[in-house]
Amino acid sequence: MPLLLKARMPRPAVETASLQSSHADADAEARRLAAAVARGDEAAFQELYDGYHQRLFRFALVLGRGDESLAHDTVQSTFVAAARKLRRAESEEHLWNWLARVARQHIAKKWRQRRRDPVVNVADLPECVDGVEPDSVLEESLDAALLSMDADERELVEWFYFDQLSHKEIAARLQTTSKAVSSRLERARAKLRSAIARSLSHET
């Protein structure tokens, strides 16, 4: 009888050692950054911002159901909190979870102020979902939302939000006007918000 399932091959020792070394380096860097930020080191704070602002924005964009204004406000508030309150990090994961928790708290506060119920109750967001970190689920929801959009709309959103290109820079790439880019972005924003809401509704 033929063997239907191949036995899982163990990872080569060199690959395993390389991964362990990579994680150890990332954890050491996170500890260094957190300690330096706690001392008021501006260069370290800039490193922290450069290393995490895009991931944090993506995270906040999903938690805020595609509200880019809220996402930007959340990122700013989270880094302000980091400058004031971050004292240490045991690992890269610990550092990210600290930033993500501050972002969740900020968005939960904003939702309460608006007296609206979000698709995801961010205040009660569990620490894990079936063994998966909640921020991973949210990032996957954003990826799913982006993939549901037309390719040209997805490219426009990625250029503007994640590559941080200006309307003028995008217009130059597309050989059009800034006004036309603004109109296209507005339509893309509406589709992204709707796609995120649909994606999250499937997760909950």
- Local structure of residue 3 (DSSP, 8 states): -
Contact 7, 45 (CB under 8 A): no
pTM score of the predicted model: 0.61
Indicate the Cα dihedral angle 129, 89, 140, 52, nearest 10°. 160
pLDDT tens, position by position, for the chain (204 residues)? 443 434 445 555 544 555 566 778 889 999 999 999 999 999 999 999 999 998 899 888 888 878 888 889 999 999 999 999 999 999 999 999 999 999 988 988 887 777 654 444 444 443 333 333 456 666 677 777 778 888 888 888 888 877 778 889 999 999 999 999 889 888 888 888 787 777 666 654
Domains identified in the chain and CATH numbers: 19-121 (1.10.1740.10), 126-204 (1.10.10.10)
Give the integer Cα–Cα distance in Å for 177 and 198: 32
